């Protein structure tokens, strides 16, 4: 086995440590620019609106850096270099504080160093995807369990029905059956629809019903595992997500934790239980305030 050059190893360690510091710096600077844009505007010669836009950019880059490793950090560091260049051009054009311009140059040099050194490292995420040919453990995922007081074969019959997925997942996206073993998903956004995708029934046996995305999408796997407990059926849902927005979307989900995926999984399971026990999914349709009906 080839031994790594000790000098190169030291550079990698230095770049990783420095980039972590720069990630926290980026978030701190971004928050400060959002909170006190007028102060930064006076220092840089830019208008307050542009300062706040730069603050959002800084926070996004910081999140990306802190939620990635090795070469996967390099694109985020490169984004910081591009941002540094834009900031220096803005300060120079606005005749801002010369000290600010000098400080920006120093930060840009550190960002460029990290971007170059980290780009020479293997990509943990890319290597894992190459070896597995699919999603990796770095993709946001969650598991939740619920007990349903019905036999496993009844639950399995529900789980393999495309109409069922449309009913328990419809709160999360627009879900429509597309044949006997396929379901079409589309996630709405402020600007239309985020890349529709199709999930197909990939496995259907006594213990598991698994739906898997055929063409990417925000939700790549829905795996339901059934266990007879003697008091009913324990349904364990494993959901894997590939959030929209590329690196930024993944960074945001990783940074803020599994809150959103967990909420999706729990709500879907509770809808499934209600469907299995009553034939209905709870809704406040027609009563949007969700207040008790006085009649």
| Alpha helices, H only, the chain | 6-35, 37-44, 48-66, 74-93, 98-119, 124-132, 152-159, 162-169, 246-256, 259-278
Count of structural domains within the chain = 2
Does residue 285 lie within any of the structural domains?
Answer: no
Is residue 295 domain-resident?
A: no
**28 and 108 belong to one structural domain:** yes
User: Which residues form the domain of 161?
Assistant: 139-278
- Please, are residues 165 and 175 in contact by the beta-carbon 8 Å criterion? yes
If one compares 215 and 203, the residue with the highest pLDDT of the two is 203
Per-residue pLDDT, 233: 93
Q: Residue 140's pLDDT band (boundaries 50, 70, 90)?
A: low
pLDDT, residue 143, reads 86
Residue 236 falls within a domain, yes or no?
yes
Same domain? 86 vs 188: no
Residue 212: φ, ψ to 5°: -135, 140
On whether both 53 and 157 belong to a single domain, the answer is: no
Domain membership flag for residue 294 = no
CA distance 77 to 88: 16
Are 167 and 45 part of one and the same domain? no
The number of CA neighbours under 13 Å toward the Cβ of 166 is 15
Same structural domain, 63 and 166:
no
When pLDDT is averaged across residues 158-183 and rounded to a whole number, the result is 82
Same domain, 145 and 267: yes
- 213 pLDDT higher than 60: yes
Query: What does the alpha-carbon distance between residue 28 and residue 33 come to, in Å, rounded to a whole number?
Result: 9
Cα 221 to Cα 241: distance, rounded to the nearest angstrom: 7
Each residue of 96-134: pLDDT tens digit?
A: 677 888 888 899 999 999 888 887 765 544 444 443 344
Domain boundary among 60, 90, 119: 119
In a domain, 184, yes or no: yes
pLDDT single digits (tens) 47-91: 888 888 888 889 988 888 887 777 778 888 888 898 888 888 888
In a domain, 248, yes or no: yes
Of 125-129, 207-211, 261-265, 282-286, which range is least confident?
125-129
Residue 111 and residue 189 in one domain: no
Q: Does residue 286 lie within any of the structural domains? A: no
Q: What CATH number did the domain enclosing 175 receive?
A: 3.30.530.20
Single pTM value for the model: 0.49
């Amino acid at each position: 086995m080839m031994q790594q050059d000790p000098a190169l190893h030291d550079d990698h360690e230095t770049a990783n440590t420095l980039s972590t510091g720069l990630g926290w710096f980026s978030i701190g600077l971004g928050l400060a620019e959002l909170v006190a844009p007028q102060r930064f505007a006076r220092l840089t010669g830019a208008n307050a609106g542009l300062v706040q836009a730069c603050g959002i950019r800084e926070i996004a880059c910081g999140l990306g850096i802190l939620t990635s490793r090795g070469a996967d950090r390099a694109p985020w560091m490169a984004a910081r270099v591009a941002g540094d260049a834009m900031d220096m051009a803005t300060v120079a054009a606005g005749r801002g504080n010369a000290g600010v311009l000098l400080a920006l140059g120093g930060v840009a040099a550190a960002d460029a160093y990290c971007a170059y050194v980290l780009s020479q490292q293997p990509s943990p995420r890319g290597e894992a995807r190459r070896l597995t040919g699919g999603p990796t453990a770095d993709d946001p995922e969650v598991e939740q369990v619920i007990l349903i007081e019905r036999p496993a074969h009844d639950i399995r019959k529900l789980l393999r029905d495309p109409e069922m997925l449309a009913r328990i997942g419809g709160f999360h996206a627009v879900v429509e059956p597309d044949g006997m073993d396929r379901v079409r998903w589309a996630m709405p956004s402020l600007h239309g629809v985020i890349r529709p995708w199709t999930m197909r029934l990939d496995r259907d046996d006594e213990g598991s019903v698994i739906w898997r995305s055929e063409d990417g999408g925000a939700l790549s796997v829905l795996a339901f595992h059934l266990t007879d407990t003697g008091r009913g059926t324990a349904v364990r849902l494993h959901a894997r997500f590939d959030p929209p927005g590329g690196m930024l979307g993944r960074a945001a989900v990783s940074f803020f934790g599994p809150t959103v995926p967990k909420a999706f999984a729990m709500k879907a399971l509770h809808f499934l239980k209600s469907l299995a026990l009553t034939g209905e999914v709870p809704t406040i349709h027609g009563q949007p305030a969700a207040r008790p009906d006085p009649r």
